[in-house]
């Protein structure tokens, strides 16, 4: 038998979650006919069907699924086949109530939603393995099978559990990490506050304590929980890898999700897929979501797949604003611009029952008459036009460090000088770079190849290891420009303050020492003055820093309490430069400052006159595809090179070509894609599109 080409698809993926098991049989063929008309080529199913696949212990029913897969194959529709393991059935949970997850306060969560499992539960894991084996054995050769969709959104509801089984796994994990009980005591510094353990059995998962907990214990618990879910993921991956080698495996990520270290998850799967739900009610959501798209394309340095998104409103925000006309397309093509090879939706047909009955779908409650159906049809045609873009890379010359140790350690209750959140600082720095027209990749430290970038930004790198400092130093020596934000190089991987204080292993690279962190009260007006003369009022954070002799001060504090002390420094090293920004800068001064830094580093930046219009370039080395996306409900103008081809024209007035350039009028939420020959293999180069 000839094995069909499973992946990548020869075009952009288009489709979504389909839950035929939730609908009577009559609907199946009708849906498939409509999907075919619409151009659906990929479906995720059956994500939540465990009780339908195994109605009682060991009684597997897969014929209905075979019938559906056969019908889809006959219609030319491929399947990301879900292993269905995110919803253990009631009979299983009731037979083994100990598999239900326990909260930090000791409450055991009951059945009645999804993800009703403790990730460590041996019985749950055994049943997961059994179901995965059944599906892989029965459907591994099925011609409709394109991908395995393992479980669903790990950690969406449950990533942590404080039960006894988890506590025992945590102890084993700690012994592996620290070698011995003495190693754990030393790593956690347990002599402080009388926390010394004399037997490993005394160590528990961090439940509710009388006062502040040991930060190193909490950080290790975060790492353990992420690794524990990863172990669950690997259980399925290994079975699928063995039984169906050659079928790519993925699980759907959730952007910059706090709980799981996606670098480690991506390393063990074959394809990065992601669920994205930017809020249509927030005019800046396209900016923030772009940061997570940068992570997705960087996790494996390859195209990724938007496997879930909403056709219109979701049903889990306090106020669920629908997408305006055109916004479905703008959101979907934004993901494509940022490296997704397709756009898929949750879900095909709107549920009439259950918690998601008000969640939008391609077929809303009005069926084919729904507005989302019409908008999805248009998108399907757009994606077909964009088929040549599939497989290409995003041009980017700037990367942001994304490091889960720092994300986890900067907890709101971490007894720090003041609350500081990685996410808030990352979004702030990214918003500035996005306004400069830059598509920002993500890098892991150590691990990623930094030499591909002109500028690397670490908004805050609270936890810094020697290896990370070395990777950054090598990058700067090699000609890179590094921007390190406040409160970096503070602690080692055990959350112990580096000897001599921050910035610890970054001290030599940055050429500064931090004497004290100096968080600001809301009422403080700590001025930061740049060497250009520009002045701003600092935001929430400042530091008393002492620069070494070979360091230039590029901004200083003015007025009390840090009068005349350096606020931002630059140290030139080898061919590059390393900046340390000790102050919290508001966006309106961070943006022009980063503009200058990037321009000096040779990055092609332009301050966008209209931050609602996003320009992102994908390239396959021979041809560049420039996406111009209007994220606003008002029309916008853009100008491109005179010789650019229009691959995808926006609705409304066609672009006008003059000797001076191509004028494009973008209607509200309009998108244009231009095509031109690649002039350079460097991913840094971007085209001049004026907005
Ligand atoms: C998540 C889940 C889906 C669905 C959507 C709704 O992404 O994976 O099953 O619940 O949210 O927004
Ligand atoms: Zn547990």
pLDDT reading at 487 higher than 70: yes
- Residue 343 Cα, ligand 1 centroid: separation in angstroms? 15
Mean pLDDT of 472-494: 98
**Cβ count within 10 A of residue 96:** 16
Contact in structure between 289 and 438 (CB atoms under 8 Å):
no
Task: Give the pLDDT of residue 4.
Answer: 59
Per-residue pLDDT tens digits for 423-454: 999 999 999 999 999 999 999 999 999 999 99
Structure tokens at 653: 């007035």
Contacts of 255 (CB under 8 A, 6+ apart): 274, 275, 276, 289, 292, 295, 296
Please give the Cα distance from 158 to 26 (Å, whole number): 35
Mean predicted confidence (pLDDT) in 309-317: 98
* Ligand 1 contacts CB of residue 257 (under 6 A): no
pLDDT (mean) for 40-47? 98
- Per residue in 617-669, pLDDT (tens digit) is 999 999 999 999 999 999 999 999 998 999 999 999 899 999 989 999 999 99
State how far the Cα of 263 lies from the Cα of 219, in Å rounded to an integer.
17
Residue found by looking up tokens 């890379």 in the block: 393
User: pLDDT tens digit string along 324-336?
Assistant: 999 999 999 999 9
> Catalytic one among 54, 222, 269, 308?
308
Residue 682 CB contacts under 8 Å (≥ 6 apart), including other chains: none
Rounded distance between C-alpha atoms, residue 316 and residue 590, angstroms? 33
pLDDT digits (tens, 9 = 90+) for 221-262: 999 999 999 999 999 999 999 999 999 999 999 999 999 999
Q: Dihedrals φ, ψ of 348, to 5°?
A: -65, -55
Please give the torsion angle defined by the CA atoms of residues 201, 203, 208 and 213, in that order, rounded to the nearest 10 degrees: 160
153 is catalytic: yes
pLDDT band at 550 (very low <50, low <70, confident <90, very high): very high
CB of 149 closer than 6 A to ligand 1?
no
Which residues pair with residue 662 across a beta bridge?
640, 657
* b/e map 428-450, b = 16+ CB within 10 Å: bbbbbbbbbbbbbbbbbbeebeb
Cα 283 to Cα 161, 332, 634, 665, distances in angstroms: 36, 16, 12, 20
Could you give the CA distance from residue 619 to residue 394 in angstroms, rounded to a whole number?
Answer: 6
State the maximum Cα–Cα separation within the chain, in Å, rounded to a whole number. Answer: 80
Nearest-10 Cα torsion for 294, 295, 298, 299: -160
The encoded tokens of residue 292 equal 């997570």
Contacts of 125 (CB under 8 A, 6+ apart): 232, 235
Radius of gyration over alpha carbons of the chain, in Å? 26
The pLDDT of residue 1 is above 60: no
CB 627, CB 618: distance < 8 Å = yes
Indicate the SS3 state at residue 627: strand
C-alpha–C-alpha distance, residues 669 and 631, integer Å: 5
Q: Which residues surround ligand 2, an ion (CB under 5 A)?
A: 118, 120, 161, 163, 165-166
Q: Is 492 in the pocket of ligand 1 (CB under 6 A)?
A: no
Give the helix, strand, coil percentages of the chain, each rounded to 5.
Answer: 35, 20, 45
Q: Which residues pair with 636 in a beta bridge?
A: 666
Provide the 8-state DSSP code for 86.
T
Does this model's pTM top 0.95? My answer is yes
pLDDT, residue 459, reads: 98
From 84, 151, 155, 275, mutation site for ligand 1 pocket: most ligand atoms within 8 A of C-beta: 275
CA 445 to chain centre: 16
Decide which of 653 and 174 is more confident.
174
Which residues contact residue 348 at a Cβ distance below 8 angstroms, ignoring those fewer than 6 apart?
Answer: 15, 16, 17, 18, 19, 31, 35, 40, 43, 361, 362, 363
Contacts 24+ apart (CB under 8 A), 376-379: 376/38, 376/311, 376/328, 376/345, 377/38, 378/329, 379/14, 379/328, 379/329, 379/332, 379/333, 379/343
Instruction: Say which of 153, 236, 425, 614 is annotated catalytic.
Output: 153
- Residue 684 — very low, low, confident or very high, per pLDDT cuts 50/70/90? low
Both tokens assigned to 366: 């009005």
Q: How far apart are CA 422 and CA 409, in angstroms?
A: 9
Average pLDDT value for residue range 397-425: 96
Binned at pLDDT 50, 70 and 90, residue 683 comes out as low
Distance CA 484, CA 508 (A): 13
The pLDDT, as a whole number, for residue 97 is 98
Confidence band, pLDDT 50/70/90 cuts, at residue 691: confident
Q: Does residue 390 contact residue 11 with C-beta atoms inside 8 Å?
A: yes
Average pLDDT over the chain reads 96
608 pLDDT above the threshold of 90? no
Q: Tell me the pLDDT band of 488, cut-offs 50, 70 and 90.
A: very high
308 is catalytic: yes
Give alpha helix (H) positions in 358-465.
371-385, 404-409, 422-435
Q: Please say whether the beta carbons of 40 and 14 come within 8 A.
A: yes
Nearest Cα residue to 102 out of 163, 192, 36, 54: 163
- State if residue 543 touches ligand 1 by the CB under 6 angstroms criterion: no
Question: Confidence class of residue 604 from pLDDT cuts 50, 70 and 90?
Answer: confident
Task: Answer yes or no: is the C-beta of 306 below 6 A from any ligand 1 atom.
Answer: no
Q: Which residue has the tokens 């498939």?
A: 32
Q: Which of 346, 358, 359, 361 to mutate to test the pocket of ligand 1 (most atoms within 8 A of CB)?
A: 346
Task: Say if residue 369's pLDDT is above 70.
Answer: yes
pLDDT digits (tens, 9 = 90+) for 254-299: 999 999 999 999 999 999 999 999 999 999 999 999 999 999 999 9
State the pLDDT confidence band at 688, using cuts at 50, 70 and 90: confident
- Segment 296-319 shows an average pLDDT of 98
* Per-residue pLDDT, 24: 96
Which two structure tokens, joined as six digits, stand for 261? 């270290």
Any atom of ligand 1 within 6 Å of the Cβ of 314: yes
- Rounded CA-CA distance 510/28 in Å is 62
Sign, CA dihedral 420-423-429-431, equals negative
119 alpha carbon – ligand 2 mean position (Å) = 6
């Amino acid at each position: 038998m000839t094995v069909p080409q499973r992946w990548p698809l020869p075009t952009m993926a288009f489709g979504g979650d389909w839950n035929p098991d939730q609908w009577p049989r009559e609907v199946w063929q009708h849906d498939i006919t409509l999907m075919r008309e619409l151009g659906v080529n990929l479906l995720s199913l059956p994500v939540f069907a465990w009780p339908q696949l195994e109605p009682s212990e060991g009684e597997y029913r897969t014929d209905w699924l075979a019938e559906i897969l056969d019908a889809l194959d006959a219609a030319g529709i491929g399947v990301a086949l879900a292993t269905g393991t995110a919803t253990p059935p009631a009979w299983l949970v009731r037979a083994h109530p100990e598999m239900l997850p326990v909260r930090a306060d000791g409450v055991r969560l009951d059945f009645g939603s999804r993800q009703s499992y403790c990730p460590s539960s041996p019985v749950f894991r055994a049943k997961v393995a059994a179901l995965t084996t059944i599906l892989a054995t029965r459907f591994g050769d099925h011609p409709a099978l394109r991908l395995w969709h393992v479980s669903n959104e790990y950690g969406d509801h449950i990533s942590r559990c404080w039960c006894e089984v988890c506590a025992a796994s945590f102890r084993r994990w700690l012994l592996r990490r620290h070698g011995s009980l003495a190693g754990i005591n030393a790593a956690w510094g347990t002599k402080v506050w009388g926390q010394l353990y004399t037997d490993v059995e005394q160590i528990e998962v961090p439940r509710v304590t009388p006062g502040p907990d040991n930060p190193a214990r909490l950080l290790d618990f975060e790492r353990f929980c992420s690794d524990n879910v990863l172990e669950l993921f690997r259980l399925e991956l290994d079975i699928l890898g063995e039984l169906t080698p050659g079928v790519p495996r993925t699980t759907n990520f959730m952007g910059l999700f706090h709980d799981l270290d996606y670098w480690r998850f991506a390393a063990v799967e074959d394809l990065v897929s992601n669920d994205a739900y930017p809020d249509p009610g927030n005019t800046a959501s396209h900016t923030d979501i772009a940061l997570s798209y940068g992570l997705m394309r960087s996790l494996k340095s390859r195209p990724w797949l938007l496997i879930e998104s909403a056709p219109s409103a979701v049903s889990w925000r306090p106020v669920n604003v629908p997408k305006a006309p055109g916004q479905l397309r703008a959101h979907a093509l934004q993901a494509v611009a940022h490296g997704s090879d397709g756009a898929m939706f949750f879900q095909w047909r709107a549920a009439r029952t259950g918690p998601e009955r008000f969640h939008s779908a391609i077929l809303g409650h009005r069926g084919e008459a729904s507005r989302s159906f019409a908008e999805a049809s248009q998108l399907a045609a757009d994606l077909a036009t964009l088929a040549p873009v599939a497989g290409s890379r995003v041009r980017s010359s700037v990367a942001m460090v994304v490091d889960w140790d720092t994300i986890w350690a900067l907890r709101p209750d971490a007894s720090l000088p003041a609350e500081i959140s990685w996410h808030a600082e990352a979004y702030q720095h990214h918003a500035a770079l996005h306004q400069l027209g830059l598509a920002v990749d993500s890098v892991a430290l150590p691990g990623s190849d930094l030499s591909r970038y002109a500028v690397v930004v670490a908004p805050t790198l609270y936890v810094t290891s020697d290896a990370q400092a070395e990777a950054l130093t090598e990058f700067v020596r090699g000609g890179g420009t590094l921007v390190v934000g406040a409160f970096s190089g503070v602690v080692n991987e055990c959350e112990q303050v580096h000897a001599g204080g921050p910035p610890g292993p970054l001290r030599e690279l940055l050429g500064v020492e931090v004497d004290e962190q100096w968080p600001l009260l809301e009422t403080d007006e700590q001025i930061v003055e740049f060497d250009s003369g520009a002045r701003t009022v600092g935001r929430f954070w400042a530091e008393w820093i002492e620069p070494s002799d070979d360091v230039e001060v590029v901004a200083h504090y003015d007025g009390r309490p840090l009068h005349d002390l350096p606020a931002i420094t630059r140290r030139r090293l080898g061919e590059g430069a390393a900046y340390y920004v000790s102050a919290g800068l508001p966006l309106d001064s961070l943006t022009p400052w980063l503009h200058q830094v990037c321009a000096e580093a040779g990055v092609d930046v332009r301050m966008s006159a209209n931050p609602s219009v996003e320009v992102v370039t994908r390239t396959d080395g021979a041809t560049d595809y420039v996406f111009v996306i209007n994220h606003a409900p008002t029309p916008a103008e853009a100008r491109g090179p005179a010789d650019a081809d229009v691959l995808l024209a926006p609705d409304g007035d066609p672009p006008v070509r003059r000797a001076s350039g191509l004028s494009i009028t973008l209607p509200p939420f309009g998108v244009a894609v231009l095509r031109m020959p690649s002039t350079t293999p460097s991913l840094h180069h971007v085209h001049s599109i004026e907005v």
